């Protein structure tokens, strides 16, 4: 049988990736285009400059196709995934009325308010890109996370009435909702010219980016936890019921109908903090890395391996972006002495991420009555062997990464395979398309050390510094 291919779109906060997979989940080629830096201004507003999501998608599609050696007519569909918790305001013609509001924007913490007469539609990042690609005013119901007039359990728009009206979004401005793994529409001639994608092929709905990532990582309803290393870092499990009153996690729509994604508290600007450390170390790091024929990130992993576990008492609290309800929060590095250098700071950030996520994941699992027995780590950060070993040691359980560890693109491909009948169900698609790359076993000595650090020091730093950070916030913001 002739091999067929699937285009998978993975729109993130820092870049847009477009990958081409065969139907066995093998990545044939891909292209990633960096997004412009988020425009932060005013009262905690954050926007994607200009028309960056669409512009980078066009570039990434063309870049991917330029390296494809096969027949473009063998591409059977496109899985559309993009960032959750964004808001796109469209004109009547489908162009943006204003830049897309990032999930970091304070306006995303409350419902849309109609203030611009040019705005005809209010939708998500996936809704906007769907309209760009297909001309349809449809969107996946599984990417409506946040203050939208949607029932979080049935994933239907609320019926007309007081509850719907409280969200201040006119119904006529909302897109039609469809299930994930459903054909949204077909690539228009105009979109084909802009992207190089074949006109007339189906564009398939996915879900919010974390649910798509969970699907692409092969996450199942068990004692396995997925840690997603992105600009927002979180830990996740899946199930089939909506949990409304949970204290230490919340239920998000899943990537297939009837599925829910359980998500712990996370770290805002998480992997951006790793980039911050790399940039802080400057051009000298890049030159040294080049001399070893390594990327700066890979070279930092080599340097960080020589730093002992615990970084000789250097700890990092990852509040580089405060929560809207805790505006006084700030990132903290505490415990410096004269022996600490750049690699210590780098490893301390990795350990801080792992310990924060261990505590968040444990709180989620304790509330569910489940025990963590295995860890999947996804995202570009999982390429580092050092980071993977730190996760295994901090969690005290085996950890693995997959061959395709940027799992959101794989999840978009799986949604497309399901929509087009390549596989009959989720488990069959995962069995054929997701493969483990390698495993990391915990080092018992490090497990005991990290456990002591976590219990005796790390979990107490926030409480010990909160009052002084609140005082500092008042100085600059009252």
For strands 260-264 and 249-253, give the pairing.
antiparallel
- Domain-terminating residue out of 139, 171, 205: 205
User: How many C-beta atoms surround the C-beta of residue 455 within 10 A?
Assistant: 10
Sign of CA dihedral 440, 446, 451, 454: negative
Q: Domain count of the chain? A: 2
Q: Kindly state whether residues 224 and 187 are assigned to the same domain.
A: no
Instruction: Give dist(CA 197, CA 199) in Å, integer.
Output: 6
Q: Residue 99 maps to which CATH number? A: 3.30.420.40
Q: Kindly state whether residues 25 and 73 are assigned to the same domain.
A: yes
Residues of the chain scoring pLDDT < 50: none
Q: Kindly state whether residues 198 and 250 are assigned to the same domain.
A: no
Q: Kindly state whether residues 245 and 102 are assigned to the same domain.
A: no
Using a 10 angstrom Cβ sphere, with 0-12 exposed, 13-18 middle and 19 or more buried, the burial of residue 445 is exposed
- Domain-terminating residue out of 205, 226, 256: 205
Residue 211 lies in a domain: no
Residue 426 lies in a domain: no
- Domain-terminating residue out of 158, 182, 205: 205
pLDDT attached to residue 195: 98
Chain segment 332-357, per-residue pLDDT in tens: 999 999 999 999 999 999 999 999 99
Show the domain range for 316: 218-409+431-478
pTM: 0.89
Contact 134, 80 (CB under 8 A): no
Residue 212 lies in a domain: no
Chain segment 154-179, per-residue pLDDT in tens: 999 999 999 999 999 999 999 999 99
pLDDT attached to residue 436: 96
pLDDT attached to residue 406: 85
Q: Kindly state whether residues 112 and 250 are assigned to the same domain.
A: no
Instruction: Give dist(CA 295, CA 140) in Å, integer.
Output: 37
């Amino acid at each position: 049988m002739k091999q067929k291919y699937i285009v998978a779109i993975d729109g993130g906060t820092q870049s847009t990736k477009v990958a081409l997979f065969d139907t066995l989940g093998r990545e044939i080629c891909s292209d990633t285009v960096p997004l412009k830096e988020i425009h932060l201004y005013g009262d905690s507003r954050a926007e994607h400059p200009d028309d960056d999501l669409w512009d980078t998608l066009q570039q990434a599609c063309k870049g991917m196709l330029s390296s494809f050696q096969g027949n473009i007519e063998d591409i059977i569909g496109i899985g559309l995934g993009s960032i959750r918790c964004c808001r796109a305001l469209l004109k009547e013609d489908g162009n943006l009325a204003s830049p897309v509001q990032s999930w970091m924007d304070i306006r995303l913490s409350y419902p849309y308010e109609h203030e611009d007469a040019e705005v005809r539609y209010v939708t998500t990042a996936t809704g906007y890109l769907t309209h760009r690609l297909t001309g349809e005013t449809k969107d996946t119901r599984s990417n409506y996370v946040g203050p939208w007039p949607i029932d979080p359990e049935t994933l239907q728009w609320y019926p007309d009435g007081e509850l719907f009206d409280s969200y201040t979004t006119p119904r006529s401005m909302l897109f039609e909702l469809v299930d994930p793994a459903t054909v949204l529409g077909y690539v228009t001639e105009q979109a084909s010219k802009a992207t190089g994608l074949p006109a007339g092929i189906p564009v398939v709905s996915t879900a919010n980016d974390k649910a798509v990532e969970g699907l692409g990582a092969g996450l199942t309803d068990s004692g396995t936890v997925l840690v997603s290393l992105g600009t927002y870092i979180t830990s996740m499990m899946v199930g089939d019921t909506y949990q409304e009153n949970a204290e230490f996690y919340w239920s998000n729509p899943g990537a297939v109908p009837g599925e829910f994604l359980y998500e712990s508290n996370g770290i805002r600007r998480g992997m951006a903090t790793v980039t911050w450390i790399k940039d802080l170390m400057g051009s000298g790091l890049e030159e040294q890395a080049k001399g070893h024929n390594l990327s700066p990130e890979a070279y930092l992993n080599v340097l960080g391996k020589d730093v002992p576990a615990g970084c000789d008492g250097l700890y990092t609290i990852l509040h580089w972006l405060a929560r809207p309800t805790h505006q006084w929060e700030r990132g903290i590095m505490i415990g410096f002495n004269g022996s600490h250098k750049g690699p210590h700071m780098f490893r301390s950030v990795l350990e801080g991420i792992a310990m924060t996520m261990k505590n968040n994941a444990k709180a989620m699992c304790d509330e569910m009555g489940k025990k963590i027995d295995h860890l999947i780590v996804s995202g570009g950060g999982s390429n580092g062997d050092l980071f993977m070993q730190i996760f295994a040691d901090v969690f005290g359980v085996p950890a693995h990464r997959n061959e395709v560890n940027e799992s959101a693109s794989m999840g978009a491909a799986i949604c497309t395979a399901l929509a087009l009948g390549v596989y009959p169900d989720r488990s069959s698609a995962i069995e054929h398309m997701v493969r483990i790359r390698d495993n990391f076993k915990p080092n018992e000595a490090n497990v005991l050390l990290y456990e002591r650090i976590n219990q005796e020091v790390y979990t107490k730093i926030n409480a010990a510094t909160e009052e002084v950070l609140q005082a500092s916030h008042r100085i600059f913001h009252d």
